[in-house]
Amino acid sequence: MERQQGMNEKVKNLGKLLRERRAYHGWTLSEVSSMTGIAMSTLSKVENGHISPNFDTILKLSHGLGVEIGDLLNSSPSEPTPPLVVARRSISRNFEGQALDRQYYSYSYLSSDVAHKRIIPIHIEVRALTPDQMGPLTAHVGEEFLLVLKGKVRLYSEYYEPTDLDEGDSVYLDSTMKHGYMSLEVPSSSIIVCCSSATPNLAQTLREIIKEQIISEKRNPDETAG
């Protein structure tokens, strides 16, 4: 009985994750069907928790949506936390982490050896010196805390006037509000951004946004030449 209840809970959580991912990217069921090769009727039943997907379906979802299989199967925040998780820790030396580089930004995802974190710490070197180099404002799920480590940055956000932040200044903001930042000092400024959300796969979602920006910059180099 308990095993059946646990399985039902996993099915509901998988459906919730699929709905949230579709809503965030603005995908239709038809688009997800094309991405995964799964029939729309099956996707609808998975989203609503009406069927328990087999491994083949889970594999297609994983590949099509860019989500790890483990995250699909263990996406519930209500599941008991293994005792070993309590003792997790990770040390990043001198901002060392998983690196992603754009034309005017360099990102280092700190503590990248710890999976399923609720807080995603990122060290960012900001080389964008103009709004054109900064590019369009972006938004994502959750909230974030920004601290200026070196230099001076100008923070742009959807509902507020641009704000200048000096070394030691910080800001806490709703990440669903479009935002961006550029350096006011040459050649660059350095910031720490900590993103947080109850949504699973936040780190992967953030990396996907950056990778899309990298692809866009390569396709349209003149637009970011500034």
Peptide bond into 187 cis (omega under 30): yes
Give the span between the Cα atoms of 183 and 155, in whole angstroms.
9
According to the model, what pLDDT value does residue 84 have?
42
pLDDT value of position 223:
57
Half-sphere exposure for 34 (CA within 13 Å, toward CB): 4
Predicted confidence at residue 88, as pLDDT, reads: 76
Give the pLDDT score at 213: 87
Task: Output the CA torsion sign for 88, 94, 97, 100.
Answer: positive
- Asked if 175 contacts 112 with a C-beta cutoff of 8 angstroms, the reply is no
pLDDT at 190 (0 to 100): 98
**CA distances (Å), 141 to each of 53, 138, 178, 202, 209, in order?**
26, 11, 11, 8, 11
Q: Write the DSSP string, 133-154.
A: HH-S-B--SSEEEEEEEESEEE
Q: How far is CA 104 from CA 99, 152, 161, in A?
A: 14, 15, 22
Say what the pLDDT of residue 172 is.
96
pLDDT along the chain (226 residues), means of 10: 51 78 80 88 87 84 73 53 59 91 95 83 97 92 94 96 98 93 97 85 82 86 57
